[in-house]
A and B are shown apart, each in its own frame.
Chain A
Amino acid sequence: MSVAAWCSLVAIGGLVWGGFLTALSRAMMSERRRDRDE
């Protein structure tokens, strides 16, 4: 695989998968906090 393809994989994969996992973990943490507060 070329360097450009690796860079693209890391950038796009990082953004999409990283964005998903970050948003999901933030949502779950917020939900746990809200459950605890209630």
Chain B
Amino acid sequence: MSASDRALAATFSSRWTLLVAALGMAVGTGNIWRFPRIAATQGGGSFLVAWVVFLLLWSVPLLVVELAFGKTARRGTIGAFARMGGRGMAWMGGFVAVCATGIMFYYSVVTGWCFRFLLAAASGGLAGPDAPERLWQATAGSPSAVPWHLLAVALGVAVVGFGVRGIEHATRVLIPTLVVLVIVLAVRAVTLPGAAAGLEFLFAPRWEQLASPRIWLEALTQNAWDTGAGWGLLLTYAIYLRARDDVSLNAFVLGFGNNSMSLLAGIMVLCTVFAVDPQAEQRLVGADNTGLTFVWMPQLFATLPFGGLLMVVFFAALSCAALTSLIAMLELATRVAIDLGLERRRAVLVVGAAGALCGTPSALSMDVFNNQDWVWGVGLILSGLFFALAARSFGVERLRREIVNGPGSDLRLGRWWSLVIAWLVPIEALALLLWWLRDRQPGWLDPTGVFSVGTVLVQWAMVVAILLVLNRWLARRSLGPVEGSR
């Protein structure tokens, strides 16, 4: 293979495949199981206002930074932070990588649950009022979840092993399938008798609730989760951008595309819920994420015409969303390992083995699962802050003029973007973290608590301490020569 062939092999073949892969990264189970529940419990229409505001003031600006970093540095998170922010910031890139990889370790468990429920739905195993609950109890936090978790890791590794071409081929099939399935389900849901109550619940604004800081904080957290802004996943995909590719317009397509899917998922879930149970408001407010998806949705579908088929379609959509996001997380960790000196095949095997091993405790215990979800989920806010700090270190205005609005730009961003990244994103992140630290429940500093502040601080401190010690080595290894084929 010639050098030019290798360079071509290491980029997305078209803008369309880049956007599809990036949408696959962003659209995950968070859109389908987290968004409807958060929107329902946080005031419906009022929450949506705050959610749209943060799409423009958190997600899209940070997605622009990620694309600009990846396209310029052509390295994973550690190398990109060292190159763009300075060698002293390699540890911040390391934290971003650990955060996304920590999520990957339990996300493969969620993906495995999706596969298990898809098989059950297709084989009639979810028929009967108690069947979903029984299957959930038998799967979540039990040894029977382990094979499904391993299957999810194996599928992800198989795709990532083929590099950017593997990601292109997988997402080119999975993402259009996901979009079609969600649209079909949303259309079916709004045509159900009584579905208007669901739309009313989701969209009717309760303006007085906008005075509550909680709505704004939940909207920011949901945006961070939803779009993947600040995770480092888009930075990793941006390594494979062609030199002529745009940064800013792609970030808008991705941010708005992801939130479009969330809105469709919200309509799909809430219209179905209210069509089956007009008094669903009380149940919704008390429902947790997993209950709404894995236990409750099959029960709802069972009461509808063609419910069995819709259930299969629903879990197929959920499985597609989960797998494409898992692929992006595996690629992030693989790319960091490649930058540190491993050849791709070996890197993906190391990452896959680590994922299989470190994800198993989350498959076996819901306490471990919830703890990791909590620790690294909150860590995403810190990751977003680190991106803003690295951009400040590079020079936000310089980043805007030379890279974002530079060659290939289809959409020139004004100074508003610089102000958002330099000031607003750090203020948002710090406000969120301080608010979270103020919320002192009994036992809040217990490091062994599943949801305590102490467990987060101890795990973050351990990771940061190790990364600070290794900072110079990480920067030196990651800033080595980059070969197009790696």
Chain A residues proximal to chain B, CB less than 8 Å: 1-2, 4-6, 8-9, 12-13, 15-17, 19-20, 23-24, 26-28, 30-31, 34
Contacts and interface: CB of A to CB of B under 8 A. Distances in A.
B45 A4 contact: yes
A19 B16 CA distance: 17
B399 to A, nearest CB: 21
Top 3 closest A-B pairs, CB basis? Answer: A20-B256, A5-B204, A19-B256
Given A26-B411, A27-B19, 20 more contacts: A1-B200, A1-B203, A2-B200, A5-B45, A5-B200, A5-B205, A8-B205, A12-B52, A12-B263, A16-B52, A16-B263, A20-B256, A23-B249, A23-B253, A23-B256, A24-B253, A27-B15, A30-B246, A31-B16, A34-B244
B252 interface: yes
Contact of A31 (B14, B196, B199, B263): B14
A1 B263 contact: no
22 contacts: A1-B200, A1-B203, A4-B204, A5-B45, A8-B48, A9-B199, A12-B203, A13-B263, A16-B55, A19-B252, A19-B256, A20-B256, A20-B260, A23-B253, A24-B19, A24-B257, A27-B19, A27-B250, A27-B253, A30-B246, A30-B410, A31-B16
Contacts of B257: 20, 23-24
Contacts, number: 73
Nearest to B201: A5
Contacts of B250: 27
Given A17-B260, A20-B260, A27-B250, A8 B15 contact: no
A26 B19 CA distance: 13
B253 A16 contact: no
B72 to A, nearest CB: 20
Contacts of B256: 16, 19-20, 23
B203 A27 contact: no
Nearest to B204: A5
A29 to B, nearest CB: 9
A6 B14 CA distance: 39
Contacts of B19: 24, 27
